Amino acid sequence: MDLLSPNPSIYVGLRLSSLQAGTQEDLYLHRLKLNYQQCLLGSASRDDNSDCQDRPSMGQLALYLLAVRANCEFVRGHKGDRLVSQLKRFLEDEKKAIGHDHKGHPHTSYYQYSLGILALCVHQKRVHNDVVDKLLSAVEHDQNLYQSHLSVDTAAMAGLAFTCLERSNFNPDQRERITKAIGTVRGKILRDQTSSGHFGNVYSTPLALQLLMTSPVPGVKLGLACLQARTALLTSLQDGAFQNALMISQLLPVLNHKTYLDLIFPDCQAPRVLLRPTTETPAVTPALAIINVTLKVSSLVPPYEQSFFVLSGSSLEDVLKMAQELGRFTYEAQASLSGPYLNSVMGKAAGEREFWQLLQAPDIPLLQGIADYRPKDGETIELRLVSW
């Protein structure tokens, strides 16, 4: 995948919004189908096709299946069956990685595991009880811990997967546990509401709201919490917090009172307003200011620290590029659906269950990636190798 590959999450978000992009939308789905089928089913053209350097992950395949469903299609035929089998195989492998005693971890994450179950469910494909059991256990054990390890985003995605199983009457033997787990993740999300109204942080709020909106009996307390979250989201939206296309794709359904569960019975006839290409507003050339940003890496020996003068409005990625050009500093980023993901610094690649965390020194994790975050004058950004 590269940064120009079509992104299934964007297609899903658009189809669950009140907007449509006319023929562009059909073209986009066509490109998605070509890309995913070629990369996953390994057709003959794979070797000469530079579009698929990496095989899509379990979560990407799941998002692709959600995109197909968003167009009111079911995966069909030989190719469709193969994709479904692949996703089931991915889940089986993850189940093994978690292990009988639930001591291990999925190779990807419980977020992608949930996406996999959700995607199969909206295509009316059942998964074995023991696959669902792993996700149920993750939620149940998390509840016993003093501090929750599942992020709000993951809890919300797990809740959406469970709710789909519940609504589709799948895995009837586990019904009681499923219903209880939905209550558990809902409670966790509500407890994680911040004073500003967001659930977790601004970027986990769209998925959290998607889950809470599926609640059959909203009740006054839940209704109020959702209202506060919506208000907080709208304020963040006006403040320009939503620049990242993937984040917008998770927000669009919520703004249209829809959730991923609408993909069980999608409504492809609902009227949507035609999106117009944005008319370029004449660029208000901001006064060219030069700011000072310090880049710091303490996780390695010898540590690195250097200050740079960059144009205000530069992204963290611009700073990293400049540092690399000036020497002594190197980094590598890989394309993801969220944008470029920093995976190696000074030749040190993050290992399994490790990542290069981005922080505003001394200790505030950034809420955006290297392409979206724009450091302010005088700021020190630390890149820290941590386990997760």
- The response to whether 109 counts as a known ligand-binding position is yes
Residues binding ligand B12 (CB under 6 A): 57, 59-60, 63, 108-109, 111-112, 151, 153-154, 200-201, 203-204, 207, 244, 247, 250, 336-342, 355-358, 365-370, 372, 388
Nearer of residues 74 and 388 to ligand B12, judged by Cβ: 388
Listed in sequence order, the residues at least 6 apart from 208 whose beta carbon sits closer than 8 Å to its beta carbon are 152, 153, 155, 156, 189, 192, 199, 200, 229
| 110 labelled binding-site residue | yes
Is residue 342 a contact partner of residue 254, using CB atoms and an 8 Å limit? no
Q: How far is the CB of 94 from ligand B12 (least distance, A)?
A: 12
Q: Which helix (H) or strand (E) holds 121?
A: helix 110-122
User: Per the annotation, does 356 bind a ligand?
Assistant: yes
Least distance in angstroms from the C-beta of 172 to ligand B12: 29
Q: DSSP per residue over 28-58, as a string?
A: HHHHHHHHHHHHHHT-GGGTT-TT-SS---H
Cβ atoms of 166 and 182 closer than 8 Å: yes
Nearer to ligand B12, 174 or 200 (CB): 200
Shortest Cβ distance from residue 86 to ligand B12 (Å)?
14
Per the annotation, does 256 bind a ligand?
no
Evaluated on CA atoms 168, 173, 174, 180, the torsion sign reads: positive
Cβ proximity to ligand B12, 171 vs 249, nearer residue: 249
**Cβ 207 to ligand B12, closest distance in Å?**
5
How far is residue 76's CA from residue 85's CA, in Å, rounded to a whole number? 12
Residue 357 known to bind ligand: yes
Q: Which two tokens stand for residue 288?
A: 């060219």
Question: Is the torsion defined by CA of 67, 70, 72, 74 positive or negative?
Answer: positive
CB of residue 36 vs ligand B12: minimum separation in angstroms?
12
Binding site feature residues for cyanocob(III)alamin: 108-112, 153, 201, 250, 341-342, 356-358, 366, 388
Binding site feature residues: 108-112, 153, 201, 250, 341-342, 356-358, 366, 388
